[in-house]
Amino acid sequence: MSALCFYGKGYRDSAIESNLKKAAGAHGILDLMSQIEGVFNLKVKSASSDMPKFALAIEDGDSTRYFYPTQTEVELTQSARNLTKDAHADALPLSFVRTAAQEMCKRAGELGLEPKKHLPSAVVNLGEDRIPNFEVAKTAADRRKEFCGVDDEGYNLMCSAVEGAKEAHFNGEDIEDFVEIFRMVDNAHHVKYSALIKDPYQAFFSGELREDVEKFANTIVFVADAPIPTEVMSSLKDEDIESNFRAEVADTIKIARDCSIGDAPQATQGLAGMSEHNSKTLLNLLLATAGT
């Protein structure tokens, strides 16, 4: 667990690393720690920054090779079928398949295509931009121990990865490295994926579509933890605000009202500092406005 936190957070203190390796050697898990270190040194590269018309770029010495062309709808759909075949044949590492699938879903949007209607489900499931769901990830770890023969050491490592990913997500950090730890344990125990045993990416990224969450977030303003539709917030009248609040508070509410349609999260942030009394008064006013 210490090694997981140390490398997962990007620490590179030589004294701490030395002590961790001594402790790992004493417990007979130095090889496992070396694997963890290697995972966090890996770099996954998509082709989007270099060649938008391909879904995957693989560095080969001083050169970069590109795979799965996506310039046109025909190329995209054919490449998606090819990726599915390659994934089923274990011709590519799962992380490469994930990267290519993400780029294909993104490219579908650029071409005005709906991924679910034009791409194989295996590509969509791996490539859609979903928010993490750590309960599903923990269940995935439990099932691996119950059905796949994952030993206690591997199970504890996966549980630590789930907790590490949860903390990283809370801090606004990337969780891909922790997902990679999951995949490493899967490889060590020859885990086969199915409807019951989700692959690490589908286990971690199984929440709502990020696009849907962002759209919803832009339709709601929170007042004292109460969700208020932006159309209600934006319909507040100046005279009603001014008759119920002091000038300074009224100005804050007007600013929040004016930006609520275009930037609901900003409106929520602007109202967050109001007193409990003012928040309750505003809620009552909003309820009255909604009823008219």
Torsion-angle region of residue 33: left (phi > 0), alpha (psi -120 to 50) or beta?
alpha
- Cβ-in-10-Å burial (0-12, 13-18, 19+) of 144 comes to buried
Residues 117, 144: one domain? no
Tokens standing for 176?
Answer: 């891909």
Residues 280, 230: one domain? yes
Q: Which helix or strand (DSSP H or E) is residue 282 part of?
A: helix 276-290
Q: Would you state the pLDDT for residue 236? A: 95
Residues 154, 207: one domain? yes
Distance CA 283, CA 289 (A): 10
Alpha helices per DSSP H over 48-191 = 73-88, 94-110, 115-118, 121-127, 134-147, 152-170, 176-188
Boundary of a domain, candidates 155, 184, 211 = 211
Distance CA 140, CA 166 (A): 15
Residues 23, 87: one domain? no
Residue 143 maps to a domain:
yes
Residue 47 maps to a domain:
no
Residue 46 maps to a domain:
no
Q: What is the pLDDT along the chain (292 residues), one digit of tens a residue?
A: 444 443 444 444 444 445 444 544 544 444 544 554 454 444 445 555 544 689 999 887 788 889 999 999 999 999 999 999 999 888 888 889 999 999 999 999 999 999 999 999 999 999 999 999 999 999 999 999 999 999 999 999 999 999 999 999 999 899 988 998 999 999 999 999 998 999 999 999 999 888 888 888 889 999 988 999 999 999 999 999 999 999 999 999 999 999 998 899 999 999 998 999 999 999 999 998 887 6
Cβ atoms of residues 37 and 3 within 8 Å:
yes
Please list, in sequence order, all residues whose beta carbon lies within 8 angstroms of the beta carbon of residue 9, skipping any fewer than 6 positions away: none
Residues 146, 205: one domain? yes
Q: Would you state the pLDDT for residue 289? A: 85
Total domains, the chain: 4
Q: Which helix or strand (DSSP H or E) is residue 56 part of?
A: strand 54-60
CB atoms under 10 Å from CB of 86, counted, come to 16
Q: Would you state the pLDDT for residue 45? A: 54
Boundary of a domain, candidates 211, 240, 262 = 211
Cα atoms in the 13 Å half-sphere on the side-chain side of 255: 13
Residues 139, 207: one domain? yes
Residues 155, 201: one domain? yes
Distance CA 127, CA 106 (A): 8
Pairing verdict, β 220-223 and 226-229:
antiparallel
Residue 49 maps to a domain:
no
Q: Provide the residue range defining the domain that includes 206.
A: 134-211
